Amino acid sequence: MINDRRDDMAVAELVEELELSHPEKVADFERRYPDAMAAVADEDLDACDPDDLDDLVSDLRRLLRV
């Protein structure tokens, strides 16, 4: 299996990659994961439900792999 570098990226790095690669999808992620995206923007990941962050990371990795 090929190791994708995104598997090792922090959530903030994944969001930055989203903003650079797919700026048109940022608003969609902000609607689906408002608390998680706000926590990333505020650099306060503890302010968000860990399950929301996990879901955000999973969807970001799935999108960015394609």
Query: Angle at Cα 33 formed by Cα 32 and Cα 34, nearest 5°?
Result: 105
Burial 33-51 (b: 16+ CB within 10 A, else e): beebbebbeeeeeeebeee
Q: What is the pLDDT of residues 37-66, one digit of tens each?
A: 999 999 999 999 999 999 999 999 999 985
Which residue type occupies 44?
Answer: D
Q: What is the pTM of this model?
A: 0.86
Residue 1 confidence (pLDDT): 46
Residue 65 confidence (pLDDT): 83
Q: What is the pLDDT of residues 2-40, one digit of tens each?
A: 556 666 789 999 999 999 999 999 999 999 999 999 999
Query: Angle at Cα 57 formed by Cα 53 and Cα 18, nearest 5°?
Result: 120
